[in-house]
A = this chain, B = another copy of it.
Amino acid sequence: MSFVDHIETCNSYRAADFRPLRLGSTRIGWIRHDNAAALRRFPAVFAVAEDNVALIADGGFVELSAAVDGVIDTLVAEGRIDKWRYEDFAVAPRWGQAPLFKLDRGAVAFFGIRSYGVHVNGMRHDADGLKLWTGRRAADKRVAPNKLDNMVAGGIAHGHGLVETLIKEAEEEAALPRDLAARAVPVGALTYRMATSSGMREDILFVFDLELPADFTPRNTDGEIAEFHLLAASAVVSRVRDSDDFKFNVNLVIIDFALRHGLITPDEPDYLAIVTGLRQQLDS
């Protein structure tokens, strides 16, 4: 294990295995070739060509969302999509633009739709150094059960804003009061493209640092985090480097934290590969 290994794990997408998903002239996703073949059975919704797939269902937001949902029903029944998550993600040409349609979180990877999340580094400057609040994900989480996690993290669902999501997740995951959560400082974003069993993830993680007072202890309220520990930041960074204990994308968030706080320094032989590896260029 190394920092670079974690970056490569999150960037396992290979363009040759996918073709673009378009709506009109806008590229909205990436479809793996075998998944494209599976979409040929829905000619009223998708036009499948050798070099792209077009969403051709008629109508606006409501009609497109319903048409895609109908297809997802079949794909879930066949096992091509694991299951419904009952959480809607927005599909938009770019961050901040009006969504074209929405689809279930469970289908995001099949269609290679870009998704957005928020990750909060809960930190504390103690007399004996910088600490990080670290959560352990519950054993029944669908993704990365039992893995270590940031203090607060979550996907941005359709119709919800970034800061709103941060405050909601902070309350649910860590019982963080709203006024404390609102002090979180935006410190950048990370991007990666990862091949998955059902397709690919093109993820944007908005990262926040939150300085916490000594009298605050996070407490989970939604069952998603089994336990929290306050660990020396340097120990967290070493554990990221040397193990797979953290959820795949949380490794990137902590590597970025370590770079910004001088915990990974230019003495690190892979420094430039690490610095340039955390943010894939986006094509739209």
Contacts and interface: CB of A to CB of B under 8 A. Distances in A.
A188 B275 contact: yes
A271 interface: yes
A9 B162 CA distance: 30
Contacts of A189: 266, 271-272, 275-276
A266 B185 contact: no
Interface residues on A, range: 20 to 34
B276 A186 contact: no
Interface in A176-199: 185-189, 191
A188 B277 CA distance: 12
A283 B280 CA distance: 14
A260 B96 contact: no
Given A95-B271, A260-B187, A276 B266 contact: no
A262 B186 contact: yes
Interface in A93-124: 94-96
A265 interface: yes
A138 interface: no
A188 B270 CA distance: 12
A67 interface: no
A282 B277 CA distance: 10
Nearest to A163: B266
A162 B272 CA distance: 14
A271 B282 CA distance: 12
Nearest to A275: B189
25 contacts: A94-B272, A95-B272, A96-B269, A162-B266, A185-B261, A185-B262, A186-B265, A186-B266, A187-B259, A187-B260, A187-B261, A188-B259, A188-B260, A189-B271, A189-B275, A189-B276, A191-B272, A204-B272, A206-B266, A260-B260, A272-B282, A275-B279, A276-B279, A276-B281, A279-B279
